[in-house]
Amino acid sequence: MIKVENLTKSYSGVTAINNLSFEVGAGEVVGFLGPNGAGKSTTMKILSCFVPPTSGTASVAGFDVTQDSLEVRKRIGYLPENVPLYPDMRVTEYLRYRANLKGVPRRKVKERVEEVKVLTSLKDVETKMIGHLSKGYRQRVGLADAIVHEPDLVILDEPTIGLDPNQIRQVRDLIKDLGKKHTVLLSTHILPEVEMTCSRVLIINKGKILASDTPANLLSNASSLNQVKVVIRGPEQEMKKALESISDVREVRTTANGNLVEVLVFTPGNIDVREHIFRKVVDGKWTILELSQPRRTLEDVFVQLTQEDEEL
């Protein structure tokens, strides 16, 4: 569905993306992640024919974004970070107007507008002025606009920004539904959202791809170290020395808070040393209040990869 090859975009000598290459297959829901200024929005603007590349090529559904921009626009729905809406139009009026602009056949406009209002939960506000809607409802109007013409590809740039937790959950469910009929490219800083909705993740920094894989594979391959968290009541240095003596322990970090010590124990691969830690605590006649193995998150992977890239 998307094919990007050696894509570069420069603004007044500043390179926003540099020799970028990646592909997104039909039916995929792909998370597009990166720090601020990494090149995500620039890439999405090129794919949506909003700005041209400096060099390289990009195509959507086989159509080049530079040579066949009108064909590309027919096949994409784009929700930018700041949704441009007409505040003095009513929801249904606006969606019908947008459906006509996007080439939905006249006989299907009414039916299609009703469908997207149901899909995006806009029926309760269908007669209201857009300018009187909450941020959450305005975001839903933008989503309805993005899919009203049934595009092959839906590009969502920070679709949940500024929404409350309930609204975020509703938009997340909508993205899952979109993935059943459309290819979705999703940019967001809410990484749990990506873990729950995306089949693959692209991580970009400084205009280049750092990783491309499923969330599960990124979590399992990003680091060779696991960690165990322990909270113990006892002498800090004595405990640290005892835990460092456990076979396969690579590092022990301690933080004291009164007579309580929080300990992080790092081990290679999938080695589990929790039982050995427990026995060391018992042998020392200390008190253990917590023993857990925190689950690595996509946020941990993201921070690790981007920080390593900054150090290069």
Instruction: Output the pLDDT for position 296.
Output: 73
Q: Give dist(CA 32, CA 149) in Å, integer.
A: 23
86-90, 117-121, 171-175, 220-224: lowest mean pLDDT where? 220-224
Instruction: Output the pLDDT for position 87.
Output: 94
Place of tokens 């019908």: 96
Alpha helices (H) along the chain: 40-47, 69-74, 91-101, 106-119, 135-147, 165-178, 191-197, 215-221, 236-244, 274-283, 298-311
Q: Which residues contact 126 (CB under 8 A, 6 or more apart)?
A: 90, 91, 92, 117
Residues 223-281: tens digit of each pLDDT: 556 788 999 998 999 999 999 999 888 889 899 988 899 998 988 877 889 999 999 99
**Confidence tier at 145 by pLDDT (50, 70, 90):** very high
Tokens matching residue 30 = 């792909």
**Confidence tier at 312 by pLDDT (50, 70, 90):** low
Alpha helices (H) along 8-164: 40-47, 69-74, 91-101, 106-119, 135-147
Domains and CATH numbers, the chain: 2-220 (3.40.50.300), 224-295 (3.30.70.100)
Instruction: Output the pLDDT for position 246.
Output: 92
Mean pLDDT, rounded, for 126-149 = 92
Q: Give dist(CA 38, CA 310) in Å, integer.
A: 12
**Confidence tier at 98 by pLDDT (50, 70, 90):** very high
Instruction: Judge contact between 231 and 261, C-beta under 8 A.
Output: yes
Instruction: Output the pLDDT for position 225.
Output: 63
Residues 80-96: tens digit of each pLDDT: 888 889 999 999 999 99
CB-CB neighbours of 294 under 10 Å: 11
- Maximal CA-CA distance, the chain: 79
